Chain A
Amino acid sequence: MAQTNSVGSNGVADESPNMIVYRKMEDVIARMQDEKNGIPIRTVKSFLSKIPSVFSGSDIVQWMIKNLNIEDQVEALHLGTLMAAHGYFFPISDHVLTLKDDGTFYRFQTPYFWPSNCWEPENTDYAVYLCKRTMQNKARLELADYEAESLARLQRAFARKWEFIFMQAEAQAKVDKKRDKIERKILDSQERAFWDVHRPVPGCVNTTEVDIKKSSRMKNPQKTRKSVYGPQNDVRTHSPTHTPAPEAKPATEEQLQDQINYWGGQLDRHRLKMSKVAESLLAYTEQYVEYDPFITSTDPSNPWISDDTAVWELEASKEPGQQRVKRWAFGINEVLKDQVGREQFLKFLESEFSSENLRFWLAVQEVKKRPIREVPTRVQEIWQEFLASGAPSAINVDSKSYDKTTQNVKDPGRYAFEDAQDHIFKLMKSDSYSRFIRSSAYQELLQAKKKYGGIQDRRTSFEKFTRNVVRGHGFFWLTNGPVQIKRIHCFITLSFPPSPPLDTGMVAFHDHLFQGLVNMYCASPFLPF
């Protein structure tokens, strides 16, 4: 498709992914700084001096809950911490950029240092900065341990140009001294916060890291590598995220023609009404909600929660549980998806001597999964078995598909039988599958009335019963589970006829069994009877 030159809803042109986030955060910051509805910024009188232009952490949290549709404090703290980690506001007396819901003081970052300016500060800049800090003999500006380490490392790395770096740092310090005291406090803290974002405290997340897939498209408004301490004639008072991107390449004639053909084809598509679609989505989730472990708790328990893998062992066993069998009736895909379902379906069809359709379908699916090298021989085999004249498992396809398939087989590819397979699938869906679901074989599985299946099922429900009972009395059945079940199973078959009615059998026993269980698990592991 040719690239359409799309423009965002508010007129802003295409932006790289990071810019979108920056813009959103900056919108919030702008609202926070609003004179009427924003966070009240004040100057606090402290011990000997004034702390200019600050607001408290709880101010931020309160504002966010009120203005950003956030329900709880935890979420507000999380979002606030992220904004701090990106450097939009910062705690004035901590290198670690998090938001705390208390009286800690915070200050806004100047737009010059906003991440949307696509800063990629060099290590030389960092070296100048750290050097400058050491020149200012104020206790509160002392280097932290990690900063001292970084400085030492940089001194070694830039040993040759250290003089130059030192000179720059000196010049900076001189300029700073001339500034107004209050202004200096603010600028110092903002500069420090900038470096906290780009050279974070070890152990803190570096929010300037980019996903390599997007990094090639980062739009850098500064064409040349800009030094942090470069000429100051470029003071930005607002972020450049709203600058338009360059025009996309104009589409060629061929691309446009392709697009026209595509749209034309799409117009012919048959669409469903939204109401129908919504009903269908609702019906699907309703049907499957009992199978969804996140909504309906599983039985036996979810292995990840209880550390018991019983549910997986049950699924791996060849005997399908009632819930699993019930699912096969949802649609033919469910039967085909489940290995045991496929086997049962095949068995049923074989009993009716009409299994060739399913076997053909399965064989064709298999061919599509084989390496390309094996495909020609397999296609021939399938042709001989199912479609050639006098084939042992002849299937019935309509003449059109038959002709097409005959053609395809001459130059066999993975999709040689596509038409035939479609036809057979439709047949199976409407005929064989519905017969299977109505069949007594399936119904028996569902009711678990079959000979072997009955005892299994009684075992399962018995299992459930005893688990509940035993658990209720404080025994830790679960950890010894499987072994004990086998014992009980043997116990049942020894003493009782193969298929007694389910309920009476259970009721007659449970007193004895319960006592037996108590003996089993408290004393030695031998059958009490």
Chain B
Amino acid sequence: MCDQTFLAITFGPCDSCSENRPLMNLYIKTEPINYCSLCMEIMACQGLASGETLKSLKAESETLRKKLEEERKKLHDVELEKVAEKAEALGELNMKTRRTLKGHGNKVLCMDWCKDKRRIVSSSQDGKVIVWDAFTTNKEHAVTMPTTWVMACAYAPSGCAIACGGLDNKCSVYPLSLDKDENLAAKKKSVAMHTNYLSGCTFTNSDMQILTSSGDGTSALWDVESGQLLQSFHGHSADVLTLDLAPSETGNTFVSGGSDKKANVWDLRSGQNVQSFDTHDSDINCVKYYPSGDAFASASDDSTCRLFDLRADREVSIYSKDSIMFGAASVDFSLSGRLLFAGYNDYTINVWDVLKGTRVAILFGHENRVSSLRVSPDGTAFCSGSWDNTLRIWA
């Protein structure tokens, strides 16, 4: 009764039902609203209803998530480390720096191996991208990008081109010519366009397609020749920092990790997020598939590396130590998947036994953060790039 009687100061057409009625003058978030009392009632009820809907949706979402966690837990009947006790212990590992590649003028941010197992492309903060024959340590090609902080680079499967990008928000492909004097920059092809920095790029089994990840929260698949966007992948709620393609011949998936602490598995064809893992406490800097493609490892700023299995749909192992306080920047597996090499922001590389969960070696040598680390295609060595401007080959 009381809310029907009010002092009507104005009389005129209602904003909502357009009929001439006494109007209630209300300000919602500094916006004046002139509704008649009936429309005001309706609006209030709807507001309550939507609040209710939001609350019930939130509750439903929470219940489902808890249920999912329970289901995952139910199948966790044993720890990986326990089962791994019967695995043979690793012998003494004697890894040393076998080559040091000097030539970058500033921090090395990314590197990739060529399929010929000896060439490497690396990119740096000063905008230079260099192709090396790591075996002889000779520089074979050098490109100067028109941007600093080239955070991503990749070698094409044919060995005839490289892709790179960074703060320019683009991914560019440079065909590598045999003629040393030819200006590589002239043949540059801009392929990907994002709205924020490019954090990672990789060719998908052929020179014709590139998969990119960006600070704008998306990943995308591009056709190199036309620059056309073939598929985009949305789902991260913050920057996507890393991606890795599944190694299978029949596989059509890739995994990405982001600043939202999530690692998502995507279907290349449909663009759908098929699986998601969010047990990390901070940004995921790097993700890499286990050689069989059934699992992947991640490196994070929370100073841990973790192993997630796709069939068990959960985190199955965590590689951490109290004395390791700095974030892990990059990881890769050895060929058999038994060893996990991880480069950290405390300038070291730790080698973990994937099955038993223990650290088997710590490698010193770099004088600043290790920013990227990859094992060579035949597993004979791995290369680490660092903020100390050098790359090191370890075997």
Q: Which residues of A contact B (CB under 8 A)?
A: 1-3, 6, 8-9, 15, 17, 20-21, 24-25, 28, 68-70, 74-75, 78-79, 82, 205, 209, 212-214, 217, 251, 253, 256-257, 259-260, 262-264, 266-267, 269, 271-282, 284-289, 291-295, 298, 302-305, 309, 311-312, 315, 333, 336-337, 365, 368-373, 414-415, 418, 425
Best-buried of B95, B237, B241, B316 by chain A (most CB within 10 Å): B237
Task: Give chain B interface residues in 59-98, CB to chain A under 8 Å.
Answer: 60-61, 64-65, 67-68, 71-72, 75-80, 83-84, 86-87, 90-91, 93, 95, 98
Q: With an 8 A cutoff between CB atoms, is B395 at the interface?
A: yes
Q: In angstroms, how far is the closest chain B Cβ from the Cβ of A283?
A: 10
B303: which A residues are within 8 A, CB to CB? 20-21, 24
* A70 CA to B283 CA, complexed, in Å: 26
A304 and B312 contact, Cβ closer than 8 Å, known pairs A257-B57, A284-B337: no
Best-buried of A70, A278, A373 by chain B (most CB within 10 Å): A278
Q: In angstroms, how far is the closest chain B Cβ from the Cβ of A75?
A: 6
B71 touches A271 (CB 8 A): yes
**Chain A residue nearest in CB terms to B66:** A263
Which listed residue, B54, B64, B79, touches A260 by the CB 8 Å rule? B64
Interface mask (B115-151 → A, CB under 8 Å = 1, otherwise 0): 0011000000000000000010000000000000101
B337 touches A281 (CB 8 A): yes
Pairs across A and B, CB under 8 Å, 9 listed: A209-B387, A213-B239, A253-B57, A275-B78, A282-B84, A284-B291, A309-B135, A365-B249, A372-B225
Which listed residue, B224, B283, B348, touches A214 by the CB 8 Å rule? B283
Which 8 residue pairs across A and B have the least CB separation, nearest first?
A: A369-B206, A263-B64, A292-B336, A17-B301, A371-B225, A288-B336, A278-B83, A304-B395
Q: In angstroms, how far is the closest chain B Cβ from the Cβ of A377?
A: 14
A213 touches B197 (CB 8 A): yes
A213 touches B215 (CB 8 A): yes
B336 touches A370 (CB 8 A): no
Which listed residue, B67, B259, B295, touches A267 by the CB 8 Å rule? B67
Q: With an 8 A cutoff between CB atoms, is B302 at the interface?
A: yes
* A302 CA to B61 CA, complexed, in Å: 54
Secondary structure at chain A's binding surface: helix, strand, loop or mixed? helix
A336: which B residues are within 8 A, CB to CB? 249
A372 touches B223 (CB 8 A): yes
Apart from A20-B282, A78-B348: 17 A-B pairs, beta carbons within 8 A? A21-B327, A74-B364, A212-B151, A262-B276, A263-B61, A269-B313, A273-B312, A277-B294, A277-B311, A277-B316, A281-B337, A288-B335, A289-B336, A294-B93, A294-B339, A294-B379, A302-B395
Q: With an 8 A cutoff between CB atoms, is B168 at the interface?
A: no
Q: With an 8 A cutoff between CB atoms, is B275 at the interface?
A: yes
**Which stretch of B3-11, B26-34, B170-178, B318-326 is in the interface?**
B318-326
B226: which A residues are within 8 A, CB to CB? 371-373
Best-buried of B117, B275, B338, B354 by chain A (most CB within 10 Å): B338
Q: In angstroms, how far is the closest chain A Cβ from the Cβ of B312?
A: 4
A294 and B334 contact, Cβ closer than 8 Å, known pairs A78-B364, A282-B83: yes
Task: Give chain B interface residues in 307-361, CB to chain A under 8 Å.
Answer: 309, 311-313, 316, 321-323, 325-327, 334-339, 345-348, 354-355
Across the A-B interface, how many residue pairs have beta carbons closer than 8 Å?
258
B378: which A residues are within 8 A, CB to CB? 293, 312, 315
A213: which B residues are within 8 A, CB to CB? 151, 197, 199, 215, 239, 241, 259
A253 touches B53 (CB 8 A): yes
* A425 CA to B208 CA, complexed, in Å: 24
* A414 CA to B393 CA, complexed, in Å: 39
B208 touches A369 (CB 8 A): yes
A414: which B residues are within 8 A, CB to CB? 230
B54 touches A21 (CB 8 A): no
A21 and B334 contact, Cβ closer than 8 Å, known pairs A3-B237, A82-B346, A281-B295: no
B354: which A residues are within 8 A, CB to CB? 281, 285
**Chain A residue nearest in CB terms to B151:** A213
* A291 CA to B278 CA, complexed, in Å: 33
Q: With an 8 A cutoff between CB atoms, is B99 at the interface?
A: yes
* A214 CA to B311 CA, complexed, in Å: 32
Q: In angstroms, how far is the closest chain A Cβ from the Cβ of B283?
A: 6
**Chain B residue nearest in CB terms to A335:** B249
Q: Which residues of B contact A (CB under 8 A)?
A: 50, 53-54, 57-58, 60-61, 64-65, 67-68, 71-72, 75-80, 83-84, 86-87, 90-91, 93, 95, 98-99, 117-118, 135, 149, 151, 167, 197, 199, 205-206, 208-209, 215, 223-226, 228, 230, 235-239, 241, 248-250, 259-262, 269, 273, 275-276, 278, 281-283, 290-292, 294-295, 301-303, 309, 311-313, 316, 321-323, 325-327, 334-339, 345-348, 354-355, 362, 364, 367-368, 378-381, 387-388, 393, 395
* A24 CA to B324 CA, complexed, in Å: 10
Q: In angstroms, how far is the closest chain A Cβ from the Cβ of B52?
A: 11
B379 touches A292 (CB 8 A): yes
B68 touches A21 (CB 8 A): no
B50 touches A311 (CB 8 A): no
B326 touches A75 (CB 8 A): no
B54 touches A8 (CB 8 A): no
A214: which B residues are within 8 A, CB to CB? 259, 283, 301
* A213 CA to B380 CA, complexed, in Å: 32
* A278 CA to B356 CA, complexed, in Å: 11
* A191 CA to B261 CA, complexed, in Å: 37
* A285 CA to B381 CA, complexed, in Å: 18
A293 and B335 contact, Cβ closer than 8 Å, known pairs A267-B68, A269-B313, A286-B87: yes
B98: which A residues are within 8 A, CB to CB? 304-305
* A336 CA to B250 CA, complexed, in Å: 10
A286: which B residues are within 8 A, CB to CB? 87
A1 touches B235 (CB 8 A): yes
A259: which B residues are within 8 A, CB to CB? 61
A251 touches B58 (CB 8 A): yes
A312 touches B323 (CB 8 A): no
B60: which A residues are within 8 A, CB to CB? 256, 260
Which listed residue, A251, A275, A311, A371, touches B83 by the CB 8 Å rule? A275
A373: which B residues are within 8 A, CB to CB? 225-226
* A278 CA to B275 CA, complexed, in Å: 20
B236: which A residues are within 8 A, CB to CB? 1
B75 touches A272 (CB 8 A): yes
* A277 CA to B82 CA, complexed, in Å: 13
A1 touches B262 (CB 8 A): yes
* A259 CA to B278 CA, complexed, in Å: 14
A333 and B336 contact, Cβ closer than 8 Å, known pairs A213-B151, A266-B275, A285-B355: no
A264: which B residues are within 8 A, CB to CB? 64
Q: In angstroms, how far is the closest chain B Cβ from the Cβ of A255?
A: 9
A82: which B residues are within 8 A, CB to CB? 326, 346-347
A272 touches B312 (CB 8 A): yes
* A421 CA to B197 CA, complexed, in Å: 37
A415 touches B269 (CB 8 A): yes
A333 touches B311 (CB 8 A): no
**Chain B residue nearest in CB terms to A24:** B325
* A257 CA to B236 CA, complexed, in Å: 16
A305: which B residues are within 8 A, CB to CB? 98, 395
B72 touches A273 (CB 8 A): no
B99: which A residues are within 8 A, CB to CB? 304
